[in-house]
Amino acid sequence: MNDIFGRPLRNLRLSVTDRCNLRCQYCMPEDDYVWLPREDVLHFEEIAALVDVFLSLGIDKIRLTGGEPLLRRDVPALVRMITAKPGLKDLALTTNGVLLADQADALKSAGLGRITVSLDTLHPDRFVKLTRFNQLEAVHAGIAAAHRVFGRLKVDTVVIRGVNDDELIPLIEYARSVDGEIRFIEYMDVGGASRWSPDRVVSRRQMLDALARHYGEVVPIAEAGSSAPAERFALADGTTFGIISSTTSPFCSTCDRSRLTADGMWYLCLYATGGIDLRAPLRQGASPDELKALIAGGWRARADRGAEERLALGERRAFVPVQDLLKKDPHLEMHTRGG
Ligand code: SAM
């Protein structure tokens, strides 16, 4: 099933909570947040029912995210429910790693396929400044556990000028040491990134230049037909890494991702200001076919290309600059929508 621009419905990001145990300055820089009402948060059985409908419409890749997904109680139980479903090719999880050491084994036994850990710095003091919590050791322990249990993993790093742009090389070396592939993410002006400004963005081009100065030739890896957000590259010694350049070279034309928030709002673009409420019909007893029609109609009408539209703006500022607005609708926040 394709949208208006011929993009298939394939990838679902499932946010299981809007809560987080870090306060990364590029995502949750404020002191207070408005949380989703607890009674609105979908139960695992409700998530599983929606997943059935999405699978019947062509979704075959799901990523659990948040907020911090491992803050939700018994995520392995949800993993078990989802992996039991036929038609799913890939179930992955994105985590900040703080709680991962204790849960890696249970996640693997439940059937989780892959893990991505977000890590922006290797300096303990910088980690505290960036996230407001002294948890770098816990993240390292989480990564070690993920490596032991899952083997290869991905490490995601948001690169911010003047914050961690001097760590590209140490982070590549670190990822290599834990059998990980690092993906450098351009700082995005998403909802919640209220401190964003263009001069803090380190572009894909600038990252590649810095890496080439150190490592010599950096060769792009051709991946025909890929809709993955990261472009991958190889260094002369075979080390690979990725860059996600949503800010300076968006990839909306191949975007097959949509996002379901923990309270059942379905967003067709990270930058969309409105979503489709799936919780209300689900709780009012809509049949699978009715939900299927709602989702199919939404996707077929999808014309979003938010990142390209942001790029086309001459002058660019934070996406949702007004704090009042974010407080009125937490769904606009990246940590609610699920990164
Ligand atoms: N808590 C989990 C984690 O830390 O990975 C999952 C949720 S987090 C919102 C998902 C991803 O979004 C993280 O890799 C985070 O770095 C990224 N992210 C959040 N705000 C961002 C921004 N302004 N620009 C680029 N990436 C961002």
For the beta sheet containing 257-260, the strands, ordered from the edge strand earlier in sequence to the opposite edge, are: 218-220, 231-235, 240-244, 180-186, 153-159, 114-118, 90-95, 61-65, 11-15, 257-260, 265-267, 276-277
| 9: helix, strand or coil | coil
pLDDT, average across residues 28-37? 92
Closest CA to 144 of 177, 184, 187, 111: 177
CB 193 less than 6 A from any atom of ligand 1: yes
CA dist list (Å): 293 to 53, 286, 288, 317: 10, 11, 9, 37
Q: What is the pLDDT of residue 192?
A: 87
Is the distance from CB of 68 to CB of 98 less than 8 angstroms? yes
What was the pLDDT predicted at 267?
97
Nearest to 262 by CA among 39, 34, 41: 41
Protein residue with least CA distance to atom 8, ligand 1: 339
Check pocket membership of 97 for ligand 1, CB cut-off 6 A: no
Ligand 1 pocket member 164 (CB < 6 A): no
3-class secondary structure, 241: strand
Mean per-residue pLDDT, 231-235:
96
**pLDDT at residue 329, as a whole number:** 83
Q: What is the pLDDT of residue 191?
A: 86
For residue 70, the Cα-to-chain-centroid distance in whole angstroms is: 14
Question: What is the pLDDT, as a whole number, of residue 321?
Answer: 54
Determine the distance separating the centroid of ligand 1 and the alpha carbon of 109, expressed in angstroms. 26
pLDDT for 115 equals: 98
Residues 246 and 187: their CA atoms lie apart, in Å, by: 8
Q: What integer pLDDT is reported at residue 322 of this predicted model?
A: 52
Which residue would you say has higher pLDDT here, 224 or 15? Answer: 15
Average pLDDT on 35-60 reads 97
> How many residues are listed for the chain in this entry?
339
Residues 142-192 have pLDDT tens digits of: 999 999 999 999 999 999 999 999 999 999 999 999 999 999 999 999 888
Which atom of ligand 1 is closest in space to residue 68's alpha carbon? 1
pLDDT tens digits, 296-336: 999 999 999 989 988 888 777 777 655 666 677 888 888 99
pLDDT band at 218 (very low <50, low <70, confident <90, very high): very high
- Helix-helix angle 100-110:75-83, to 10 degrees: 20
Is the CB of 65 within 6 Å of ligand 1?
yes
Q: Is the distance from the beta carbon of residue 26 to the nearest atom of ligand 1 less than 6 Å?
A: yes
pLDDT at 26: 96
- pLDDT tens by residue, 241-279: 999 999 999 989 999 999 999 999 999 999 998 999 999
Q: How far is CA 89 from the centre of its chain?
A: 18
Tens digits of per-residue pLDDT, 101-143? Answer: 999 999 999 999 999 999 999 999 999 999 999 999 999 999 9
